[in-house]
Structure 1
Amino acid sequence: MKAMILAAGKGERLRPLTLHTPKPLVRAAGVPLIEYHVRALAAAGFEELVINHAWLGQQIEDYLGDGSRFGVTIRYSAESEPLETGGGIHRALGLLGDEPFLVVNGDIWTDYDFARLRRPLHGLAHLVLVNNPPHHPLGDFSLGESAVTEPEVNGDALTYSGISVLHPALFEGCQPGAFKLAPLLRRAMAGGQVSGECFGGAWIDVGTHERLAEVEQLLEARR
């Protein structure tokens, strides 16, 4: 199974750190955020990674190189304009192949064991959900016994972690350009084609200076 790290965001809420550094290279405890993912994916047995980038993306390529020093092979999908999550993945499908692949947002920090996702995919997508953080109290999707669905009752939704396994067929009929992933997932949910799990471990969406500080504190506590 291949894995894709989404690394094309500008990270405007992390300015001035991201004025001259792409968000995935912002450091937590001295290590770029994206390096935590690369090392975790390698440890989980993933050998082929795809990384998309846009803002200052050449810096990401210069830092990670071909991935050999991490024990993986990295290929890049450069975007000249922002394509959002769906459009970015769609552009990279040629690098990802015909089989299901793992996707992880480059701007989260987690201790999730990616090896758990190296198993057959039933349907078009499998989502890792987490308990709603303070900055996203209403959540995104509901998790039933057999499928992820749209929330039916206020308060029963969980937050999408930015970790998933997707089948290329999810993007059938899509055209090149910018588009979001969520509408594709909702269409698949309507057909009962999305499974999920709830992860209760460490997970932080590193979108602000305050949450970057949370990661620093967590890592310091684990030393």
Structure 2
Amino acid sequence: MKAFILAAGRGERMRPLTDHTPKPLLQAGGKPLIVWHLERLAAAGFKEIAINHAHLGAQIEQTLGDGASWGLNIQYSPEPPGALETAGGIATALPLLDEQPFLVVNGDVYCDWDFNRARQLTAKTAHLVMVANPAHHTTGDFSLDGERVIYANGKQTLTYAGIGVFSPSFFAGVQSGTVMKLRPLLDAAIAAGTLTGEHHTGRWVDVGTPQRLAELDQELKNA
């Protein structure tokens, strides 16, 4: 099973930190955010990793190289300035991901979800890892009815963690190089009753602001 790390975002809310450093390379606990993912993916037995990039992407390639430092093989999917959004970025990188379901991880989150579990989800067309709503996103995204992802309808909402398992067929209607968000595809899958998910109750941080980065940095240094 391969993994795809989303690392193309500009990181506007992180400025000025991201003016000269791509967001996934910002450090927390003494190492770049994306390296936490690489180490955990390697520990879970992943070998093949694809990473997209746009803003200052050359720095990501220079820092991570071919992945040999972690026992990984990393391939890159460069995107134009402004990037292609999540669905567009994944669709463009599909040639690097073969024809089997793959794990997707946002490069700017910190999470202790067990990446080994991804291999148990390969029968799903699309499966989202969701977490309790953080203080900066109290309205949440979706709800769960058992394993099926639904809209709230009075139920407790959860926030998409930026981690999921997807079949390549989920992006079949997205042309390579297209700018497209993930949400329209998720909405269509909810309407079709095919989107599944789970509630992760462990540690998760959306490292979206300098303050949250500083807090995570201190937490990891104290751990």
Tell me how far 1:79 sits from its aligned partner. Answer: 0.3
Aligned position for 1:133:
134
Please give the alpha-carbon distance, in whole angstroms, between the structure 1 residues aligned to 2:147 and 2:31. Answer: 38
Aligned position for 1:208:
209
User: What is the CA deviation profile of residues 183-208 of structure 1, one whole-angstrom value per residue up to 9, with x for unaligned ones?
Assistant: 10111122221111111111000010
Is contact 2:7-2:108 (8 Å) kept? yes
Please give the alpha-carbon distance, in whole angstroms, between the structure 2 residues aligned to 1:158 and 1:203. Answer: 13
The 3 A distance-change label for structure 1 pair 133 and 120 is closer
Is contact 1:150-1:186 (8 Å) kept? no
Once the two structures are overlaid, the 10-residue window that deviates more, 49-58 or 21-30, is 21-30
Q: Does 1:53 align with 2:43?
A: no
Aligned residues: 221
Helix, strand or coil: the match of 2:179? coil
What are the ranges of 5 or more consecutive residues in structure 1 without an aligned counterpart?
none
User: What is the CA deviation profile of residues 46-103 of structure 1, one whole-angstrom value per residue up to 9, with x for unaligned ones?
Assistant: 1100000000001000010000110110000000131001100010001111110000
Helix, strand or coil: the match of 1:52? strand
Tell me how far 1:146 sits from its aligned partner. Answer: 3.0
Is contact 2:8-2:55 (8 Å) kept? yes
Shift >2 Å, 4+ stretches: 120-123
Aligned position for 1:96:
97
- Structure 2 length as normaliser, TM-score? 0.96
Once the two structures are overlaid, the 10-residue window that deviates more, 51-60 or 170-179, is 170-179
Tell me how far 1:147 sits from its aligned partner. Answer: 0.7
What are the ranges of 5 or more consecutive residues in structure 2 without an aligned counterpart?
none
- Structure 1 length as normaliser, TM-score? 0.96
Once the two structures are overlaid, the 10-residue window that deviates more, 9-18 or 66-75, is 9-18
The 3 A distance-change label for structure 1 pair 34 and 128 is same
Once the two structures are overlaid, the 10-residue window that deviates more, 66-75 or 182-191, is 182-191
Aligned position for 2:170:
170
Helix, strand or coil: the match of 2:10? coil
Please give the alpha-carbon distance, in whole angstroms, between the structure 2 residues aligned to 1:86 and 1:115. Answer: 24
User: What is the CA deviation profile of residues 11-45 of structure 1, one whole-angstrom value per residue up to 9, with x for unaligned ones?
Assistant: 11111211111111001122000000011111111
| Matched letter for residue 175 of structure 1 | Q
Please give the alpha-carbon distance, in whole angstroms, between the structure 1 residues aligned to 2:124 and 2:32. Answer: 34
Please give the alpha-carbon distance, in whole angstroms, between the structure 2 residues aligned to 1:162 and 1:120. Answer: 16
Once the two structures are overlaid, the 10-residue window that deviates more, 178-187 or 112-121, is 112-121
Aligned position for 1:87:
88
Is contact 1:122-1:193 (8 Å) kept? no
> Pairwise CA RMSD of aligned residues?
1.1
